[in-house]
Structure 1
Amino acid sequence: MKNGKIILFIIVVIALILLKRCFKDIFSLSDLVSIITAIIMYVTVLVMKEGNETNSRLNRLEQIENTIMKQIEFHNNLLKRIYVNYESVGRGFGFSNAPINAYGEEAFEILYNRLKQIYSTMPGNSYKSRFDMNVEENRIKDSFTQLYKEYGVLFGNYFKNLYLLVKYINGIDVKDFPRSYYMDLVKSQLSKYEILLLAYDCIWIQDQPKGQNFIDFAKECNLLSALETNELIKSVSPVKHTDIFKDHYGIIFREPVEFTNT
């Protein structure tokens, strides 16, 4: 942009000089100098304006990136503070000085296993239409509601903060902002069981306007790309949970990769 303006300035000056030669009786030397001076001032103002806009944008990008990194750090601190007592879920070690609580990623594994237990014990007579996808989704929501009643005080803020972080990154509209990089950075913080529980949390809570729910961002930002579909809850009905994500929310998962010895 700056080089283009300089080239334009040179062309205009050359044109004025040629005009001076052709119409020397009309333009005096002082007229030519005044015109060239005015053009120089105009180009200078444009260049300064462009430079100020660039600096402002770069400063804004720096502020945004600092905010994101602080929020990621805060999110990781929230994760570390999440804990589940081993004995409360029948995992006591039975010896002195044994660890009492599971923290962070390990706590999420226990929470996810608890969700599977709740799901498997949901009263069957409440879900009579086994082939109805909406009925199966309601069973998932009821199961997560029960999990939240038991442990929501521990992981509620975790998911709220993750939602706000993803929404913030997705909503940034500044030139040259590497949105995909920071979204991938957020996704890289999530462990296997965090992603699994996130998937069901996205189905469970949908209290925002259309397009602003966590499930909407999960689709738009591909948040669940690393989800291991073979670890999803085994449906008690013919309706697969991957089909709910696909048919109700447009989220399609890659087939799990199977490794064999050759």
Structure 2
Amino acid sequence: MADIPYRFILAVAAIIVVGAARIDGGWWLRGLFYRMVDPEAKDMRAAPFGLLVLAILLTIAMSVLAFSAWFFNGAEIQDVGAFLDGTLTPIFTFITVIGLLLTIVIQQFELRLTRDEFARSANALETQIQSTDRQNFESTFFQMLNLHNSIVNAMDLRNKEGGQTSTGRDCFKTFFVYFERMYHNNMEPNDGDKISSAYKEFMDSYKQDIGHYFRYLYNVVRFVDESPVVDKQRYMRLLRAQLSDYELLLMFYSCQTPIGKRFGQYVVRYALLDNVPRDKLLVIFHENLLPAAAALDKDDFTSEGT
């Protein structure tokens, strides 16, 4: 084998490989290695395949070179064997390493698939939990809304003077007439004090008839406010649609008093008084109190619906 310039051929091949490795400003082999060990790389299976092909080509090239020297140049078979042993052993070792890396890559790929599946399962579970929470909330909300309507429908108010009986939502018109009378009979010089004093007198007289209504309505609104649902305004609009003009009027005047202070924060936040009939206010200038209690003027709220 002394006459065969295989060391020269190997040197030239090495120079070619090293030169070809520098492509587009980056090391090709390094790029292959990075893609091979990166479980997020979409083409990571191509990296060990490329290295495997390179090892096979080198093995074929060395074998052809050795047998060409034996067949054409008359080299001793022992020299050919020694040459193949010295050159192919590192190549086969390299192929073994490639196989190990390929195993690691496959494991990483499977791990990525498992992780993605876990992520999809977690997202699906979260979506299911959110859907279940919404269903539970809506079930409770509409049950509370039905109970609120039952409370209204069960109202029965007898007018002692005329002997007439008001039932259901008609009672609120009668309540407002009583409150209006108390307001105009009140002698407080300040209008804010006059509203508070008249409303306190009204509640002292009819608390047993209307107190549970406002307490339950307050708890319905509070339930929606404290719920985890995102579109709370949607449910508040449904609630607001259940309220009659005289219910809104009494709620409006309640919010002007210390009695309705806690309820007032929700009334402002969700514009529950947006549809209060301004023409039925006790005096016309009370309309100036409305934006503070309703949070939004009627024209400003049309984009959200009524």
Question: Which of these residues, 149, 155, 159, is aligned with residue 214 of structure 2?
Answer: 159
Q: SS at the partner of 1:14?
A: coil
- Which of 138, 153, 160 matches 1:80? 153
Compared CA separation, residues 207 and 162, structure 1 to 2 (3 A): closer
Unpaired stretches in structure 1, ≥5 consecutive residues = 1-10, 93-99, 128-134, 256-262
State the identity as a percent. Answer: 17
Distance in 1, matches of 2:150 and 2:169, equals 12
Structure 2 partner of 1:59:
132
Q: Do the aligned partners of 2:274 and 2:297 also contact (CA within 8 Å) in 1?
A: yes
Is the Cα contact below 8 Å between 2:274 and 2:294 reproduced in 1? no
Distance 1:42 1:180 in 2: 38
1:221 offset after TM fit, Å?
Answer: 0.4
State how far apart, in whole Å, the 1-side matches of 2:41 and 2:296 are: 61
Q: Name the structure 2 match of 1:217.
A: 266
- Superposed CA deviations along residues 185-225 of structure 1, whole A, max 9, x for unmatched, are 101110111111111122224576xxxx2222112101011
CA contact (8 A) 1:242 1:252 kept: no
Report the CA distance between 1:159 and its aligned residue: 0.7
**Partner in structure 2 of residue 91 of structure 1:** 162
1:151-194 superposed Cα distances (whole Å, 9 cap, x missing partner) = 111111111111111122123233xx432221111011101111
Q: Of 151, 162, 187, which residue of structure 1 is paired with 2:240? A: 187
Distance 1:85 1:201 in 2: 23
Q: How much does 1:139 deviate?
A: 0.5
Whether the 8 Å contact between 1:242 and 1:253 is mirrored in structure 2 is no
1:110, CA displacement in angstroms? Answer: 0.4
Give 1:46's aligned residue: 119
State the alpha-carbon separation in 1 of the partners of residues 154 and 297 from structure 2.
Answer: 31
Alpha-carbon offset, residue 61 of structure 1: 0.6
Higher RCO, 1 or 2 (CA under 8 Å, sep at least 6)?
Answer: 1
Report the CA distance between 1:81 and its aligned residue: 2.1
Correspondence list, 1:76-155, <5 A: 76-86=149-159, 88=160, 90-92=161-163, 100-123=164-187, 126-127=188-189, 135-155=190-210
TM-superposed deviation, 1:250: 6.9
For residues 224 and 136 of structure 1, what CA distance do their matches in structure 2 show? 20
Q: Find the partner of 2:45 among 14, 17, 23.
A: 17
**Closer, same or farther in 2 for the Cα pair 1:83/1:165, shift >3 Å?**
same
The one-letter code matched in structure 1 to 2:220 is: L
- TM score, norm. by length of structure 2: 0.65
Larger radius of gyration: 2
Alignment-derived partner of residue 96 in structure 1:
none
For the 8 Å contact 2:154–2:167, the answer to whether it is kept is: yes
The aligned counterpart of 1:69 is: 142
CA shift, 1:59, in A, is 0.6
Does 1:241 find its partner at 2:286?
yes
State the 1:60 CA deviation: 0.6
Distance (whole Å) between structure 2 residues aligned to residue 27 and residue 202 of structure 1: 78
Greater share of helix residues, 1 or 2? 2
Q: Structure 2: give runs of 5+ residues left out of the alignment.
A: 1-38, 53-93, 300-306
- Normalised TM-score (structure 1): 0.75
Moved more, 55-64 or 159-168: 159-168
Name the CA distance, whole Å, in 1 between partners of 2:98 and 2:145.
Answer: 66
Q: Which deviates the most, 19-28 or 114-123?
A: 19-28
- Contact 1:108 / 1:193 at 8 angstroms: preserved in 2? yes
Determine helix, strand or coil for the equivalent of 1:15: coil
Partner-residue secondary structure (3-state), 1:102:
strand
Matches of 2:112 and 2:47 in 1, distance apart? 16
* Closer, same or farther: CA 163–151 of 1 in aligned 2, 3 Å: same
> What RMSD, in angstroms, separates the aligned Cα atoms of the two structures?
2.2
Preserved contact between residue 163 and residue 214 of structure 1 (Cα < 8 Å): yes
Contact 1:108 1:194 survives alignment (8 Å): yes
Residue 23 of structure 1: CA displacement? 4.3
Local SS of the residue matching 1:116: helix
Whether the 8 Å CA contact 2:271–2:296 is kept in 1: the answer is no
Q: What is the rounded CA distance, in whole Å, between the counterparts of 1:153 and 1:184 in structure 2?
A: 28
- State how far apart, in whole Å, the 2-side matches of 1:221 and 1:116 are: 26
